[in-house]
Structure 1
Amino acid sequence: MNIAPFEGVPGQQLERLAHIEFLVYFTGKVTRKDIMSRFGVSSAAATRDLSTYIDSAPDNIVYDPRQKHYVATNKFQCLLPLSAEKCLSTLTSGFGDVMDGLEDFRCAYHIVLEEPELDITATFSRAISLARPVEVEYVSTSSGFSTRVICPHSLMNNGLRWHVRAYDRKREKFSDFVLNRVVSTKLLYKDVFKKNEVLDKDIDWVEEVELVIQPHPRLPKNSQWAVEKEFGMEDGLLIKKVRKAQAGYLLNSWNVDSTVGAELKGRHVFLHLKNAEALEKMKIDSLFLAPSLD
């Protein structure tokens, strides 16, 4: 991929050119109306955008008078550094950064247990931006319902649900709080974070660890090759560097056998944590989530 062909193009127009490339790349076609409806520009402006794109990529698209739109050619090559994550999100949820898309075209789908409430999510986001604590009513699996004050610094998705990472004044430690277990929130505008409650003091968040993942040793060779291909392994290994606080979540969501001797059984277990013994010695809090015999 190369952004040089559009060097010097203003940012807003570059967004429109990226939209043209996305549509051609993933749907095989684009029209002036697509640009006009997405960005609210005139027909003349949409025509100029298409001309600018064609000037830089004359082999990528051609006009089909029968269908009355531009179509991808067999020589199409992506010019802009499109984000795979954002492209898949668009194919799933439609165009737009914050509003739910209304486009007809959908070809990707994701499964979620439940989306978090926007009011609660926005409260935590404001708290992070303003560096202010939040009083929460929370339902924990261990202690049940409680009210506590937490100092959030990050929101994260573990693949199944959303969490907020925060310092918990009640337990005097950094912890993860599931957004969908939060009953209510109150932003404490007049309060501030103390020195020990900020992100830099969250050691498990700041420090990283390497997860050395391999195809499960009990798998037949053909299955191991398939797993290696699926996870982009090199020499039979996937080395994933993650925050210590996220290690257990990743191992859980990928269902990685985290026993030292690769002891887990079942047709659903395809991966094994090769350096499980080394991680056990690190005493990482989140590792209790990793698949094991416990």
Structure 2
Amino acid sequence: MSTKRPKSSDDPTRARKRGGQAAPDAATTGRKLDKEISSDAALETSETTRLPWATMSRLTFLEESIFWTDSVNRRDLIARFGISEQQASGDLTRYQEIAPDNLVYDKSDKTYRAGARFAPRFLHPDTDEVLSRLRLTAEGVAEDNPLIGFLSLGIAPAPARPVESETLRVIIRAIREARQLSAHYVSFSQTDGRMRRIEPHALGYDGFRWHARARDAEDGAFKDYVLGRLSSATLHGPAEAPSDNDRDWHGWVTLVIAPNPGLSPAQKKVIERDYGMRGGTADLKVRKALAYYTKHRLGLDLDPKARRPEDQHVISIGER
């Protein structure tokens, strides 16, 4: 059964029905308006959640295109989803039915633009996601973002940390199948290396290099093994201990950071904005097993007085 859209308070048919009745007071009008707005929002939510997944995907793409580039047309939908012109036109019509104020047709460029009252119905803008996708594009891992198109991008390079593909393959299988493996491992304490038997259960990344989080079968301790230092890996039988025993991996700690007190008040405001601080602090929730790497990357493991405030922007003020 179809649901009729509530009529707005300025509907002329409603005005005629009221006739000579006394005008409602401002409070009553406000309550009625709030109720009608809530009804509209509920209708939109209900209408969008009933859509098939494929349709939702196309309408979300359409809205993302408008939000980020202020342009969308049938060709964009056809190129992205391989649909027919008729289907693309139908999607545009459907979107306009759901969000009539969001699109305005630009005849000169033959494309749709964002309306002056544009408000997302499907999209929850996530800048972290968009910038992460752009980073993958800049690093050559992904193709140009079909949503935003070509942008000039640059990444400050880090030295490559090569990992043997066969070794990584064995590690991934060991993690997925909860098995032991043996591998040759080199370290500062054993520069010539030796065979180690480990039980990897996760992969970690510290911002510069990858490591396997694994239980050492010899002493039972959970440790980090840099992937580039492992070689000649061979799978063995089931792991002797469950990964749940790795309390540092499954436990979390919150690092509290703040601007370096040596900065000027204006500079502190800049840092607060950079890190999205509220009340002069920001919380970083991190696995206990990765806390050291986070501190090291941010310089929190050093005495803040050993560096100029302009070089060490943030300091640690505690954990919880």
Per the normalisation by structure 1, the TM-score is 0.77
Q: Give 1:265's aligned amino acid.
A: R
**1:67-82, aligned counterparts within 5 Å?**
67-79=109-121, 80-82=123-125
Stretches of structure 2 that go unaligned for 5 or more consecutive residues are 1-40
Q: Hey, what does 1:106 align to over in structure 2? A: 151
Bigger-Rg structure (1/2): 2
| Residue 205 (1) aligns with residue 241 (2) | no
Q: Hey, what does 1:87 align to over in structure 2? A: 130
Q: Give 2:61's aligned amino acid.
A: H
| Residue 158 (1) aligns with residue 206 (2) | yes
Moved more, 230-239 or 78-87: 78-87
Moved more, 247-256 or 39-48: 39-48
| Residue 10 (1) aligns with residue 44 (2) | no
State the alpha-carbon separation in 2 of the partners of residues 122 and 62 from structure 1: 51
Q: Give 1:169's aligned amino acid.
A: A
- 1:7 Cα deviation after fit: 0.9
State the alpha-carbon separation in 2 of the partners of residues 37 and 73 from structure 1: 24
Q: Give 1:173's aligned amino acid.
A: A
Number of equivalenced pairs: 267
Q: Hey, what does 2:178 align to over in structure 1? A: 131
Stretches of structure 1 that go unaligned for 5 or more consecutive residues are 280-294
State the alpha-carbon separation in 2 of the partners of residues 159 and 150 from structure 1: 24
**1:47-66, aligned counterparts within 5 Å?**
47-66=89-108
Deviations 1:92-151 (A, max 9, x none): 335xxxx73245523555445237659455543343222223333334344233332322
Moved more, 112-121 or 13-22: 112-121
| Aligned CA distance change for structure 1 residues 31 and 227 (closer, same or farther; 3 Å) | same
Moved more, 101-110 or 83-92: 101-110
**1:108-123, aligned counterparts within 5 Å?**
109-111=154-156, 113=158, 114=160, 119=165, 121-123=168-170
- RMSD of aligned residue pairs (Cα, Å): 3.0
CA contact 2:164–2:228 (8 Å) conserved in 1: no
**Please, which of 144, 147, 150 is the counterpart of residue 195 of structure 2?**
147
Q: Give 1:206's aligned amino acid.
A: H
Q: Give 1:66's aligned amino acid.
A: S
**1:218-229, aligned counterparts within 5 Å?**
218-229=262-273
